[in-house]
Amino acid sequence: MDSSLQKTRKAVSAAVIGNVLEWYDFAVYGYIAVILARKFFPAGDEVTALLSTFLAYGLGFVARPLGGIVLGRIGDTRGRKVALLITIALMAGGTVLIGLLPTYAAIGIAAPLLLVLARLLQGFSAGGEWGSSTAYIVEWAPADKRGFYGSFQQMSVVAGLLLGSGVAAMLNTIFTPDQMDAWGWRVPFLLGGILGPVGLWMRRTIDETPAYKKAAATPAPVIAGETSPWVMAARAFGFTIVWTVCFYVLLAYMPTYTQKYVKITASAALWANTIGLLVLVIFIPIMGAVSDRIGRKPLLMACCLAFIVVPYPAFSFLVSGASYTELILVQILFAILISMFSGAGPAAIAEMFPTRTRSTWMTSGYALAVAIFGGFAPFISVYLIDKFNSNLAHTYYLIAAAVVSTIVIATLRETAHEPLA
């Protein structure tokens, strides 16, 4: 095997595995949300407790733009590798903290405050992780396979969600509801703390990207009429809206939704979600490879248009009395649609930016959109359903997000077959 190809595969593999562990840590909170609502907030109204839990979940995303700016800047000035080492260490620390926290019954108001602090630490880390790892993987990729290689970044994010969902489903299957409520909910967080050092060790062995080394060794060129980085970041922001809303409504919030409105057990809801995530993991690299052949925009636009049309009838079908098998089929449909964007998306968003500023500005635009529209997606979904007294009200949020991103993506040029700047 060619030595350069070996180095590429080694670098991408280490980044991907570390990314899986990082996103497992961040996502597992959403899968234990129902129990966390009871443990960290005062007993009383169920909707209020769940809203409080998802508000804390969303606050983790508030820190993402700050993490994106700080750690993205480190990625552009000190190297992608340094930024990736910092992100995984911070994420492991925040995850262990959640697993060790005393509950509201033990320390009162300090419990939810400490929970929010841990989520902010996780969010700061996640803000830097996405952009740094995306830049790292796309910059290592062969020119004609950036879509395929870049898709592994998003595949590893979903694999982390899959691992979190699978662990939560397994624990809900092995332990009784009383055991999960008493102490079992701590296990996935403490497991994340153990996995963190594994990812840290792997990332210590990786090399810096050739594109970054080349950019760092040469003076910055002056390009007449070059697009402002603020404008490019704004495009990345609009690009990301549908991606993040679909991701966090249809994956992170889905187990909670199906328990409450499709009337299935926590274990069944988590297993259905896990199957959907598994399908998504399989299809993301397929779609990434397809985008290398036909371009990024056809897949991105197809996903956006589908999420204007599909959500309302799909959820209407679910709440009308769909069987468990039919629920799984709907989750598989959502997974395939999301894979179109997640397969083409990492390369497409990275290709918007030059190497010298890619990590900072790409991460800033992406993380801000995720913080506003994605992190609070479960909270907004619960609020809309309660406000309008309709278990379909959250679908309008999905549709609105898809309309905005459709407009933004329609204005972008195709970059699949252009050299990386």
At residue 2, the pLDDT reads 56
Q: Provide the residue type at 14 as one letter.
A: A
Pair 191, 167: CB distance under 8 Å: yes
Is residue 116 in a domain? Answer: yes
Is residue 176 in a domain? Answer: yes
Is residue 212 in a domain? Answer: no
Q: What CATH number is given to the structural domain containing 279?
A: 1.20.1250.20
For 308, other C-beta atoms within 10 Å of its C-beta total 16
Question: Which are the contacts of 10, defined by CB distance < 8 A and separation ≥ 6?
Answer: 206
Is residue 417 in a domain? Answer: no
Q: How far is CA 171 from the centre of its chain?
A: 23
At residue 225, the pLDDT reads 53
Question: Domain span at residue 264?
Answer: 3-205+226-410
Residues of the chain with pLDDT under 50: 1, 224
Give this prediction's pTM.
Answer: 0.83
Is residue 378 in a domain? Answer: yes
pLDDT digits (tens, 9 = 90+) for 164-183: 878 888 888 899 988 998 99
What residue ranges in 24-66 does DSSP mark as E strands? Answer: none
Helix (H, G, I), strand (E, B) or coil at 302: helix
| 44-78: b (≥16 Cβ within 10 Å) or e | eeeeebbbbbbbbbbbbbbbbbbbbbbbbbbbbee
Is residue 323 in a domain? Answer: yes
Is residue 213 in a domain? Answer: no
Question: Measured between alpha carbons, how far is 172 from 166 in angstroms, rounded to an integer?
Answer: 10
| C-alpha separations of 218 from 140, 211, 212 in Å | 19, 11, 10
How many domains does the chain divide into? 1
pLDDT digits (tens, 9 = 90+) for 244-303: 999 889 877 888 899 889 988 888 888 898 899 899 999 999 999 999 999 999 999 999
